[in-house]
Amino acid sequence: MSSALPPQPTHPLGFIGTGNMGMGMLRRWVELGGSAHFCDIDALRQAEGVALGATLHATPAELARALPPNALLIITVVSAAQVHDVLWGDQGAAGELSPGHTVMLCPTISPEDTQAIADKLLQEGVRCIDAPMSGGPVRAAQGTMSLMVACSAPDFAHHQPTLHALANPVFHVSQRVGDGARTKLVNNLLAGIQLVGVSEVLVMAERMGLNLQNTLSVIEQSSGQSWIGSNRMHRALAGANDVQAHMSLLAKDTGLALDAAERAGMAPQMGHRAAAAFAAALAAGWAERDDSAMLAWIRQTFPR
């Protein structure tokens, strides 16, 4: 973990996938004065990145060709399948990367997929940093999100200035690639449990006739406080309808976490309950809603 001040960027970065978190990271880098190359299939994200001053590329391969030697390519897509596609699919980046380049994996994927991707890159002479992120798009844009980094000590030392520019705190959790993914799954399972839990207790407070804003204020300054509870419930109670984190993401992440727990010989009961709540919301067609809608889902699940 570090609280170092961000350095002035002196080199370009590549970004593949500029969704909510990826665009936040891109914005952060450009606003610090860094140059950036990016690739995204969404026309709105393309326009947003160009407006920031980043260079748009039509394909991952084209982006990789534009990166200088020793550059860092940051991948912020959603799934392991998408990582494979942008690296080794048609017009994938991997074929244009050279020894000295480093790929930083930021999606929440399984430790096994992370290790397999890193191994394949290493066979091609490309280094890999396992670095899941957390904190939401606002904190990504502010440089105050967290990164859970697993990579060799030399790779961490080499890229540390860039990591500190993009995030604070930066946790170097391990030199074993895959441990970043493991740490992120532990974190996100707890986040899912907390989000379902705070939604349930606020519905309980509502049924008891309590003012929900007042109740949330008490929780935030008492033993029930959690970051995700505060962040999501303020949005839910304000009626916010923009999407900062799709419901489908925590559904995916809690499922991956339970798979990891099973491989570790554990069956976390609270985790299973939280995952079931997200799975049920998805089955009802709520996948594209913001995950703060869990409050509305719980209200619907426990009708009067």
User: What's the pLDDT score for residue 241?
Assistant: 87
Q: Are residues 141 and 65 in the same domain?
A: yes
Q: Are residues 160 and 17 in the same domain?
A: yes
Q: Please say whether the beta carbons of 67 and 39 come within 8 A.
A: no
Mean pLDDT of the chain: 95
Q: Does residue 81 form part of some domain?
A: yes
Predicted TM-score of the model (pTM): 0.92
Q: Are residues 198 and 274 in the same domain?
A: yes
Quote the domain boundaries for residue 34.
Answer: 13-176
Question: What SS3 class is residue 103?
Answer: strand
Q: Are residues 187 and 105 in the same domain?
A: no
Give the residue-averaged pLDDT of 122-136.
96
Q: Is the pLDDT of residue 73 over 70?
A: yes
| Sign of the alpha-carbon dihedral angle for 277, 197, 167, 132 | negative
Per the structure, how many domains does the chain have?
2
Give the residue-averaged pLDDT of 221-232.
96
Give the residue-averaged pLDDT of 186-198.
98
Give the whole-angstrom CA distance, residue 115 versus residue 164.
24
Q: Are residues 39 and 161 in the same domain?
A: yes
Q: Is the pLDDT of residue 56 over 70?
A: yes
Q: How many CB atoms lie within 10 A of CB 190?
A: 18
CB-count burial class (<10 Å; 0-12, 13-18, 19+) for 297: buried
pLDDT tens digits along 145-155: 999 999 999 99
Tokens, residue 260: 């990891």
Q: Are residues 204 and 254 in the same domain?
A: yes
pLDDT tens digits along 195-221: 999 999 999 999 999 999 999 999 999
